[in-house]
Structures are given as C-alpha cells and as structure tokens.
C-alpha cells in the first residue's frame, strides 16, 4: 500500500472537482474492492476522495415514469432487501444476493459494484505481466491459468471478465446510469457503460476521470412475473460466477412477448445479444427455442486451456434459466 | 480410577477465552518499543539475485534496517543445526542464506520499521534484479525422472513401503476381476485462519522470549538455540493458542528465523507476521500421481495389489509421506507391489498436512476397491467384508483392536444403505442425479514419549502442564478431564497448561499422537503425585502409615482408606502440611513398547456419502454423510465429534474444492488468497453425522487412547468420488472433482 491523502467530500460537485484536479485521485465508497486493490499495490491512488458523507446519494425512490431510482451510495444489501426491489425487481434482488457475502454486501455500494475490477489472478499479482494493470506488458492469462476468463468479446490484449452479479440484472432490465462531472450531468444506457477490452484493456467502462455515478434508474418493467437468475461457480456461495445468467420474460397466451437474457462471467461486460432476444419473440417457451437463442448468444465463443468448458456450460445454463423463468422447470 | 469426566461431553475449557477474544495469539502480544518486520519474497522460481534496490525503501520514514543475504548477521554454519524435529532428509532451507533463488516466493529481504504499515509500504518499494534460470515446477512433465527417496531420521515415523510379495503384476494381469486407475492430486496449502507470526521479545544479551505460532514450542526453542548459538535456557517459546495449523506448524517457519535474527541484531523486540499470500510461500501438501492395479479372483477375493506413487519435493529436502502402504494394511493379498518415488522440483519443501499420505493414498486405494467391487458385481460394503482382515498384512501383526465391521454396520444402518440401487445413474431427483458411495479409512495410532508435571497447591487446586499444543483439537479440555479423574478431583479444581517450552518436554503435536502421548504423561504425573500424597499422609495420620498404595481410593480430592479404618485425609490438608505448600510430580509417559510391538495399532472409519450431481452442469453437492469411527477410547465425545466433523468438512474440500494452482511459466501459485483458493463455505456443508464405535484397547496405552486428528478426513474424498461414480457412471480420479471434469462437453479450444 502506498501513502495517500484522504478527503471526505461534502457533496457530489466537490467530489467531482477534487477528482478532476488530480489524475491520481480515486473515489472510495464501500471500499470493499478498492482497499483490497490498494493492499495488493494494484491500485495506488495518490488521493482518496470519500463519498460516503454525501447526502442524497443513498436513497431508493420511485420515479414518475413508474420506474425506480437506486442511489449510487445505497448499499447492495439495502437495495436487495428494499420492499420495492423485492416486489418489482426480484431479478435484481436475487442477482445481488448471489454475490459476495452478507458482510460485503452490507458495505458494498451500487456505484462501487458497477466499478469493481476484474478478478483475473494476474491482474492482482503485480509480479506478473498484465495489460489491464500495466498497459503494454502483455496478458499473462492467455497461455496461463484462465479458468475464470472470457469466452466472448475478448481480445489479444486481455481476456478478463467483469465479475459483478448485480450488473447482469441491471443489464437485463435495461437500466440507465446517471452521472455527474465537470462537464455536467449525463445519462448512460447500462449496456453501453462497460466496454470490451480491445487494445485498451485498462479501461473497464466509459466513465471519464472526474465523473461520479449518482444513481441508477430502473425502467417500469421489472419482469417480476417471469424471471430467473442462475449463478454457477466453484463453491455454493462466496465465489465469483463462472457463468451467471439473468433472464426476464413476458409471456402471453403461451408465447414469449418480450425476452431479456444477460450473461455474466463470459465477457468483459454483462453480455446481451438483442438478436437472441428478438428471435424468441412470439415463440413458445420450450427447450429447443431457448437452445437456439443460446446458440445466437454464444456465437463466436472461444475457449482457452482452462475455460473451454464454459461454452457448453453457458449454453446449458441459458436454457435452464430461461425454462425456470418461464416456470417450466421442475 | 473412577471415570467421572473421561468419556463425558465436557465443553471446551478454553472456549470462552476464544470466543471473547481474550485468548491471545502470537501476533497479539505487545511490548514497549516493538519493531515490525515485513518480508519481500522472490518473484522468480530459480536463479540468482544480482541486485536488490533498497534506496527508496530505506528512505521511508520509520524504516530502521533492511536485511538481505548481503548484510544478514551470520548464523550457524552447519546444516544440521537448522534441522528441526520434523525435518526430512536433506538440507533445510535457510532464509537469505545467499543470492540463490530456489523457489518462487522465497523470502529475500526483510524491512524492519517502527510500524507495521511503514514496513509494509517500504517492502513495496524494493525492486530486485535477477539472473533467471530455467526452472522445473510441473510434476507431470517430469514423472519419468522420479527416484527413490533418501532415508533419514524422519523415515523412522514414516517407513517406506514394505518389500514386494509374490508376483503382483503378473497375477493382476491374470486376474478374472481387475480394476486400475491413475489418480492425480494437486498441491494444497494448509491455510489455517491464523497466519504465521512471531513476536520476539528481547530480554537482554542472548535472551529471548518468543511468542510463536507453532505445533511444538520445544521444537522451535531447539531450532532457535541451535541456529543462533544461544543457550537453550535463554530461549523461551510460548504458543498458548494456535488458530489452526493442520501440520503447517510442525516446522519452524521462516518468520521465526527472520524475527529472531533481527531482534538479536537490533537488540530490540521484533514482530514479523506473514500475510495470506505468504502463507503460500512455504510448505504444502505435495502434488502426486498414483497408479493402482488391483486384481481379485472369481469370488472377489483380492489377490494382487499394485500401488505406486510419485510425489514432488524440493531440490533441497526429500519430504516423504506414507502414501502406498495402506491398501495392504486394509486388505489381505498374497501378491503386493508398493512403490513410492519422488521428483525434486524448484518449489518449497512440501510438509505434513492433515493425514499426510493417508488422505492421498486412500483416495486411490478406496476408489480402486470400489471399482473392483463393481467389476466383481458385489455391493461395495459386502466386498470389503469379504476382504476383511484383523491382521496388518504389511507387518504380519494383528491389530491391537479393530471395530471396523461394527463401523460398517452402524453407519450403513444410519445411512439406509440397504435401499441403494447399485446401478450407476439409477437414482435421481429432478435435474439431480443421486449417488451413494462408501470408503474405509485407516490411520496409525502412534504414541511418543512425553513429560508432564502435576502440581497441587494448598487451595486444593491442581495444575498439570506439558509443553504440548492445542490448535483447536481440545487438548486443554481432555487433559484436564484425564487429570481430574486420575486425581479424583472436581474438574473445576483442575487446569491444564500447555504451549510453553519452559514446561516439561513434549514432542511436536501431529499425526494424531498428542492425546495418547500427553494423556499418558498426565496419567504418569498424577500417579506420581498420588504416591507422594500417600507418603505425606503416612507421616501425618496413623491410619495411613501401614496402608499400601492399593489400599487407598483417591477420590473427592482426598485419600480414602478402602477398608474405612480411618477418616479420609484431604489433599488440601496434606499440601498445607508441607513446607512448600505445594506438592509436585514430574513424570515421563512412556509408550509401552513391550506390549505395543506385537501389534499394529490403528484407528478405522467407515464413511457413507450421498451426493447430488446436476446432470447438466456437473456440479456436485454432498447432501449427507455418515462417518463411523473406531478410535479406542473417546475421551470427550463433544470435542471428538468436532474433530471428526472438521475432518469430514476437509474431506469435502479435498474432494471438491481445494487446489493451489501454479502457473508453471512462473513457478508461482496464482490463486494464493482465500477468495480464489476455494475452501468450502457453510452452504457447501449439509447433513453430517458422526458415530463412535468405542474400542477397549489396553495395548495402545492404559487409557486406551488412539487419537482422532486424521481419521475423520482420510476416507471422505474416496467416498465422495465413489458416490459421484454411482450418480454419474463416471470416474473422476483427478481431485478436486470440479464441474468441468464431471460434465461431458466438447468445445472448440484455441
Ligand atoms: C471476497 C469478495 C467476493 C466478492 N464476490 C462477489 C460476487 O460474487 N459477485 C459480485 O457481484 N461482487 C462480488 N464482490 C465484489 C463486491 O460486490 C464489490 O467489491 C463491491 O460491489 C464494490 O463496492 P464498494 O462500494 O465497496 O466499492 P469501492 O471499493 O469503494 O470502490 C470500487 C471502485 O468504484 C469506484 N466508485 C465507487 N463509487 C463510485 C461512484 N459513485 N462513482 C464512480 N466511481 C465509484 C471507486 O473509485 C473504485 O474504483 C466480492 C468482493 C470480495 C472482496
Ligand atoms: S486477462 Fe486482462 S486482466 Fe488478466 S492478465 Fe490478461 S490483460 Fe491482465
């Protein structure tokens, strides 16, 4: 851990200004990811700007359009157990609760969850090359131990995955992200927020330095009737997803009228394929149709030495989860 | 002796101290002006250090000194001075000995600073230039280079395989019923909750008190004295509480060496603790590859056992464990060929880890036996009963006691084994295939000479002590129970002390021999004390003068004449009448070699497991498990049950979760944290049941104690593997059994 300065920001504008002023400054919310990274010398911020004292960022409030606003500083646990989330967005509640542990979820914030970094072993180990940690040094995971790595959307510079569970549900629900910064406020569609590694794997998302996430908006449709979240991992709890699937369906007269499938553990971002969702429209919710959708989602998937099994695993997980969402699983 | 406490489920006497936090561990002892160390580890596996750049680290405020191989004070010259009680044949690793790198993660520099944070920060600023050499770390790439292990002192407790009998290969080939397998185990690290730490208190010229995490305070005392040339009596090592160790504390670890070195050099008290990554930079359970070939005749009688194992070791020590001797201890066979070899690699020396060798070897043995039962078309329990023996075939000695048949019976009943459909893939619940499997466990019941002291004071309290350890095993509690019964006292008046090299001699604690060894010592010390009490009594009261030792009942904290020829005399009165107001007896508890040598002494277990396997995903869940254990006298069913439950959880972990994964390009473990080194969590553990089948065995020792540390673990991984086979029809012999190995898939690979 390096030495750093610490400032508690009184409001969002000050936080953004402090951040903008120092290229090596970083925000800290729950600290459950950032402090680990600092202890490992992976993150070495010169200044920490604590946003926990900022008023008004931890609320969960209804929106005029029937949606729900989740404050960036609302804790993961408070979000998952909020009555409106439980009722209207059970997919989100379930996704959050499948992540980390109770203690971590109590500390972790919604903003921090979206900004958490990959769990690639090499990213964490400063004695090994890693393009995400030190651009230009190479990717150790390619040709190394890559069990938890990407099968979709990876590049020659990085095959890391984005580890969040919460974000798979947010992607499936078509959430939007409210951001403030030196150039004012902007709104980002959730599926545009995280990016693929390309040749700039050091960038996880499109947030600019100086910007701060203030809240996340959920649209009215929570898919609360037909939803399912499935997380497959190496132990029953307290492990990151090898494959995670968030599914929301709308069914009418035995046909699928609307479908959302977002996959975690497969790529550098929650993976959605609108073609697969469109394919399902007006189809009957049966195994064969979900298999066809899974094939579309997984089109172009590539495995490495230790993770090739994830391609078939993901396909079976998508099918199982969609059947569960349609209440067709026994 | 009336057994009032022995055999009772007494709650841990140290429980309150542990849950309230008043129990102090090695890194929690604070003294004024304590200095803090932090270690820098090598990042290559083999080569030489050309230069260590320390300028930036030295400039950090609070840094006092940085030690490297270039400036470290000199220590003992001869290699044997570094050999501790558990050192395998070879030359023990000496931290910062020279510029050579022999494994990735080796300690190469130590910062000492005024605060821990300063030391840690400074350590992050050290950069090292290496001259790298090609290293070898992948056992699988070097199997053909394996050789026989060197022999040494450690071989006494861990004998090599017995000589071959008959023609095992030929008979195997000719057998009508055959089973064979290749079994692969990766490396595992002990990962106790408490990380290694030493707080070295500088007490003046050449005199130290050391709070250390260890399974043997006297082992560490001898090591420190030998290495640093200090008089033994000037080195006191204390380890009252140990937050788990599982064998990792059987040898002094590098933090002890380095903290002592800095303390002597700076003439200051120094603390050095490891972080979680550093817990992956010393001993581990070695990776192994085993091959079995078992054959049986038409009626299912085993007639050939071939079992070979190749394990890794370091380039500097030949670490050995007993992997291949078990099959022939459990199953008679006229033809056996058992082979054990090592391949040295550029890694840290492996170390004993819970049930060393047994947890490895029995997996191969018991899965092969299961397969053999299938091939013979017999129920796996019946097959084992058909091949049952009361004789250890490796030594041709009978077992001192062996209630394994009863274990099978009771566990099978509890489990409901008779309802099993033997056909693989025949049982299911929705998406889950159900499998039932069993395995047998065995572990040796050893005993080593140990000393204890019993002290009675005029307030009627008894304190018994021995330099042994309690790393969660319950030693504090069961020894107090034994002492209370031996003296006929109230448990509340008895306390047992341990974990201090100033106390009477005890060897390192491991291999399940602590309860038997220390228990016998406690009994001996109490016997000594009773004799002294009688002597004093004889001088005090006429009625006792003529009494022989056997005429007295030592109960209710007093001497009672069996013939009631006079009133009792309390311990208090006797002690009060002594000049010193205390009465002491220090005695050695010797193993009774005359009795013991005619027998093989061992504990046994039968484990029944149910698994659910998701038919699509290959995810295995152990839904229930019944373990029946025959391990002599159970001193305390409550702490004993905890021991066995811990072993069962570990078995689930070994079968399904744990493995230290190395990237052989770097020779480095990549999942070296508790987030990525997967130990089971609560959600992985379901219904576990423990049955004790008691044995009355006076051959092992007077109290009939056999030990429980390892027996709870050994049979669990094969029982799970056999259940997975029953569920899926697939044998996964490569541990851990992760979903990718169970599910069938064909995917394109880049
Ligand atoms: C052992 C372990 C297991 C875990 N398992 C899971 C799991 O299974 N599934 C899962 O989803 N997660 C898991 N997590 C990750 C956990 O969800 C994240 O650590 C947590 O969500 C981060 O939130 P935080 O508030 O603590 O973020 P912090 O650590 O405070 O910050 C993380 C990053 O976000 C930035 N940041 C924080 N708030 C904002 C904001 N408002 N605007 C802009 N940037 C911001 C910070 O600058 C920092 O870069 C696990 C974590 C651990 C340690
Ligand atoms: S996958 Fe990405 S994060 Fe991992 S080593 Fe490669 S570049 Fe680094």
* pLDDT tens-digit map of A114-150: 999 999 999 999 999 999 999 999 999 999 999 999 9
pLDDT band at residue B750 using 50, 70 and 90 as cut-offs: very low
**pLDDT digit string, tens, across residues B521-577:** 999 999 999 999 999 999 999 999 999 999 999 999 999 999 998 999 999 999 999
Give the pLDDT confidence of B207-223 residue by residue, as tens digits: 999 999 999 999 999 99
What does the pLDDT look like over B232-271, one tens digit per residue?
999 999 999 999 999 999 999 999 999 999 999 999 999 9
Nearest to B430 among A3, A143, A330 (CB): A330
Between the CA of A24 and the centroid of ligand 2 the distance, in Å, is: 22
Please tell me the distance in Å from B41's CA to the nearest CA on chain A.
Answer: 10
Ligand 1 site-directed mutation target among A69, A79, A95, A116, most atoms within 8 Å of CB = A116
| pLDDT computed for residue B746 by the predictor | 63
Measured CA to CA, the distance from residue A316 to residue A290 in angstroms comes to: 9
Q: Across the interface, do A145 and B668 touch by the CB < 8 Å criterion?
A: no
The helix (H) or strand (E) run that includes residue B522 is helix B514-540
pLDDT in tens, B397-425: 999 999 999 999 999 999 999 999 999 99
Distance of alpha carbon B667 from alpha carbon B647, whole angstroms? 30
pLDDT at B152: 86
Greatest alpha-carbon span in chain A: 62
Buried b (16+ CB within 10 A) or exposed e, B706-720: bbbbbbbbbbbbbbb
Distance of alpha carbon B387 from alpha carbon B370, whole angstroms: 12
Q: How far is B214 from chain A (nearest CA, A)?
A: 27
Domains of chain A by residue range: 227-325
Q: What is the ipTM of this complex?
A: 0.96
Residue of B621, B745, B746 to mutate, testing the A interface (most A Cβ within 10 Å of its Cβ): B745
Residue of B657, B676, B748 with shortest CB distance to A121: B676
Task: Mark yes or no for CB contact A313/B743 under 8 Å.
Answer: yes
CB contact under 8 A, B431 and A145: no
Query: Residue B432: is its pLDDT beyond 80?
Result: yes
Q: Is B131 on the interface with A (CB under 8 A)?
A: no
Say if the Cβ atoms of B749 and A312 lie within 8 Å: no
In the sheet where A255-264 sits, what is the strand order?
A226-232, A243-252, A255-264, A271-272
Higher pLDDT, B546 or B301: B301
pLDDT above 60 (res B749):
no
| Cβ-proximal residues to B449 (8 Å cutoff; 6+ apart), any chain | B507, B517, B588, B589, B590, B591
Evaluate the CA torsion angle B40, B41, B43, B46 in order and state its sign. positive
Written in H, E and C, the secondary structure of chain A is CCCCEEEECCCHHHHHHHHHHCCCEEEECCCCCHHHHHHCCCCCCCEEEECCCCCCCCCEEECCCCCEEEECCCEHHHHHCCHHHHHHCHHHHHHHHCCCCHHHHHHCEHHHHHHCCCCCHHHHCCCCCECCCCCCCCECCCCCCCCCCCCCCCCCCCCCCCCCCHHHHHHHCCCEEEEEECCEEEEEEHHHHECCCCCCCCCCECCCCCCEEEEEEECCCCCCCEEEEEEECCCCCCCCCCEEEEEEEEEECCEEEEEEEEEECCCCCCEECHHHHHHHCCCCCCHHHHHHHHHHHCCCCCECCCCCHHHHHHHHHHHHHHHHHCCCCC
* Mean of pLDDT values over A196-205: 98
Closest residue by CA, ligand 2 atom 6: A139
Q: Do A237 and B663 touch (CB under 8 A)?
A: no
- All domains in chain B, ordered by first residue: 374-445+596-750 (3.30.365.10), 448-590 (3.30.365.10)
**What length does chain B have?**
750
H-type helices in B125-253, by residue range? 168-174, 217-228
| Distance between CA atoms of residues B17 and B12, nearest Å | 10
Q: What's the CATH superfamily of A227-325?
A: CO dehydrogenase flavoprotein, C-terminal domain (3.30.390.50)
Of A3, A242, A308, which has the smallest distance from its Cβ to B121's Cβ?
A: A3
Q: What is the pLDDT of residues B708-721, one digit of tens each?
A: 999 999 999 999 99
For residue A325, the distance in angstroms to the closest alpha carbon of chain B comes to 16
**Local confidence band at B748 (pLDDT 50, 70, 90 cut-offs):** very low
Q: How far is the CA of A50 from the centre of ligand 1 (A)?
A: 14
Nearest 10 degrees: CA dihedral of B162, B165, B167, B172? -70
Residues B655-683 have pLDDT tens digits of 999 999 999 999 999 999 999 999 999 99
Mean pLDDT of A42-53: 97
Does ligand 2 have an atom closer than 6 angstroms to the CB of A247? no
Which residues does chain B have within 8 Å of residue A147's beta carbon, measured at their own beta carbons? 661
- Mean pLDDT across chain B: 96
Q: Is B710 a catalytic residue?
A: yes
B370 vs B88: CA distance, rounded Å: 34
Indicate if ligand 1 lies below 6 Å from the C-beta of A205.
no
């Amino acid at each position: 851990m390096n030495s750093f300065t610490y400032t508690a920001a009184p409001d969002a504008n000050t936080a953004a200004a402090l951040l903008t002023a120092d290229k090596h400054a970083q925000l800290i919310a729950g600290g459950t990811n950032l402090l680990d990274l600092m202890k490992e010398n992976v993150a070495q911020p010169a200044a920490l700007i604590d946003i926990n004292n900022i008023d008004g960022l931890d609320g969960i409030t209804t929106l005029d359009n029937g949606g729900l606003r989740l404050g960036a500083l609302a804790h993961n646990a408070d979000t998952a157990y909020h009555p409106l989330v439980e009722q209207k967005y059970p997919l989100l509640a379930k996704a959050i609760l499948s992540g980390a542990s109770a203690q971590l979820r109590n500390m972790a914030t919604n903003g921090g969850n979206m900004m958490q970094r990959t769990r690639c072993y090499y990213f964490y180990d400063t004695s090994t090359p890693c393009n995400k940690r030190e651009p230009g040094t190479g990717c150790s995971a390619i040709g190394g131990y890559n069990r938890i790595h990407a099968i979709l959307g990876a590049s020659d510079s990085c095959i890391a995955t984005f580890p969040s569970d919460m974000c798979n549900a947010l992607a499936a629900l078509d959430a939007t992200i409210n951001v403030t910064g030196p150039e004012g406020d902007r709104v980002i569609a959730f599926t545009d927020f995280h990016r693929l590694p390309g040749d700039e794997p050091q960038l996880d998302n499109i947030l600019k330095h100086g910007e701060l996430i203030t809240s996340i908006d959920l649209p009215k449709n929570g898919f609360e009737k037909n939803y399912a979240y499935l997380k497959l991992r190496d132990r029953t709890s307290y492990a990151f997803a090898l494959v995670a699937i968030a599914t929301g369906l709308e069914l009418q007269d035995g046909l699928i009228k609307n479908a959302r499938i977002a996959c975690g553990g497969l790529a550098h971002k929650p993976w959605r394929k609108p073609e697969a969702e469109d394919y399902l429209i007006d189809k009957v919710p049966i195994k064969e149709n979900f298999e066809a959708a899974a094939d579309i989602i997984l089109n172009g998937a590539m495995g490495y030495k230790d993770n090739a099994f994830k391609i078939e695993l993901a396909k079976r997980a998508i099918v199982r989860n969609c059947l569960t969402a349609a209440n067709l699983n026994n | 002796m009336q057994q009032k406490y022995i055999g009772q489920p007494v709650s841990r006497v140290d429980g309150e101290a542990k849950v309230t936090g008043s129990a102090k561990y090695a890194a929690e002892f604070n003294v004024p002006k304590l200095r803090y160390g932090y270690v820098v580890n090598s990042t290559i596996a083999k080569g030489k250090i050309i230069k260590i750049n320390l300028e930036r680290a030295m400039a950090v405020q609070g840094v006092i000194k940085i030690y490297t191989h270039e400036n470290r004070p000199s220590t003992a010259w001869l290699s044997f001075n570094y050999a501790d009680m558990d050192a395998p044949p070879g030359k023990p690793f000496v931290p910062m000995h020279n510029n050579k790198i022999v494994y990735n993660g080796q300690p190469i520099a130590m910062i000492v600073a005024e605060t821990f944070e300063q030391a840690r920060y400074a350590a992050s600023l050290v950069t090292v230039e290496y001259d790298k050499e090609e290293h070898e770390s992948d056992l699988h790439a070097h199997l053909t280079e394996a050789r026989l292990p060197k022999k040494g002192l450690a071989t006494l407790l861990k004998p090599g395989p017995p000589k071959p009998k008959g023609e095992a290969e030929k008979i195997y080939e000719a057998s009508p019923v055959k089973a064979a397998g290749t079994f692969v185990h990766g490396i595992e690290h002990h990962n106790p909750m408490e990380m290694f730490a030493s707080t070295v208190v500088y007490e003046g010229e050449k005199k130290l008190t050391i709070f250390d995490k260890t399974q043997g305070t006297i082992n560490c005392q001898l090591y420190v004295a030998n290495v640093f040339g200090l008089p033994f009596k000037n080195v006191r090592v204390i380890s009252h509480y140990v937050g788990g160790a599982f064998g990792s504390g059987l040898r002094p670890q590098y933090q002890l060496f380095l903290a002592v070195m800095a303390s002597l050099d700076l003439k200051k008290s120094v603390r050095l603790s490891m972080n979680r990554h550093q817990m992956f930079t010393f001993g581990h359970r070695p990776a192994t590859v085993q091959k079995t070939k078992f054959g049986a005749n038409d009626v299912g009688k085993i007639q050939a056992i071939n079992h070979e194992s190749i394990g890794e070791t370091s380039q500097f020590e030949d670490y050995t464990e007993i992997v291949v001797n078990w099959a022939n201890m459990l199953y008679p066979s006229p033809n056996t060929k058992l082979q054990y070899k090592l391949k040295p690699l550029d890694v840290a020396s492996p170390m004993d880890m819970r049930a060393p060798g047994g947890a490895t070897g029995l997996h191969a043995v018991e899965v092969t036996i299961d397969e053999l039962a299938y091939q013979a078309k017999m129920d796996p329990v019946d097959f084992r009963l058909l091949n049952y023996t009361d004789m250890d075939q490796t030594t041709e000695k009978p077992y001192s006691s062996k209630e394994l048949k009863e274990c099978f019976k009771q566990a099978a009943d509890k489990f409901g084994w008779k309802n099993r459909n033997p056909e693989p893939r025949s049982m299911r619940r929705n998406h889950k295939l159900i499998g039932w499997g069993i395995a047998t466990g065995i572990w040796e019941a050893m005993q080593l000479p140990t000393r204890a002291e019993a002290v009675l004071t005029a307030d009627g309290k008894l304190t018994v002590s021995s330099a042994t350890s309690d790393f969660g095993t319950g030693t504090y509690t069961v020894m107090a129970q034994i002492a209370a019964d031996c003296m006929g006292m109230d448990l509340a008046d008895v306390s047992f002390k341990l974990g201090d090299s100033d106390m009477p001699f005890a060897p390192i604690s491991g291999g399940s021999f602590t309860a038997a060894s220390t228990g016998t010592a406690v009994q001996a010390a109490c016997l000594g004390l009773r004799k002294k009490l009688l002597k004093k009594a004889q001088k005090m009261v006429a009625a006792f003068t003529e009494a022989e030792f056997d005429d007295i009942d030592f109960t209710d904290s007093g001497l009672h004449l069996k013939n009631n020829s006079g009133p009792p005399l309390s311990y208090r009165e006797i002690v009060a009448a002594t000049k010193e107001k205390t009465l002491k007896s220090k005695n050695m508890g010797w193993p009774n070699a005359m009795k013991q040598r005619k027998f093989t002494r061992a504990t046994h277990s039968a484990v029944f497991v149910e698994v659910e396997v998701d038919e699509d995903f290959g995810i295995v869940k152990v839904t229930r498990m019944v373990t029946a254990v025959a391990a002599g006298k159970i001193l305390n069913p409550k702490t004993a049950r905890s021991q066995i439950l811990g072993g069962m959880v570990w078995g689930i972990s070994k079968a399904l979760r744990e493995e230290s994964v190395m990237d052989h390009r770097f020779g480095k473990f990549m999942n070296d944290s508790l987030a990525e080194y997967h130990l089971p969590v609560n959600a992985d553990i379901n219904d576990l049941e423990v049955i004790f089948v008691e044995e009355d065995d006076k051959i092992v020792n007077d109290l009939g104690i056999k030990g429980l540390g390892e027996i709870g673990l050994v049979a669990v991984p094969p029982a799970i593997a056999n259940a997975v086979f029953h569920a899926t029809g697939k044998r996964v012999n490569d541990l851990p059994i992760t979903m990718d190995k169970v599910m069938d898939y064909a995917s394109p690979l880049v």
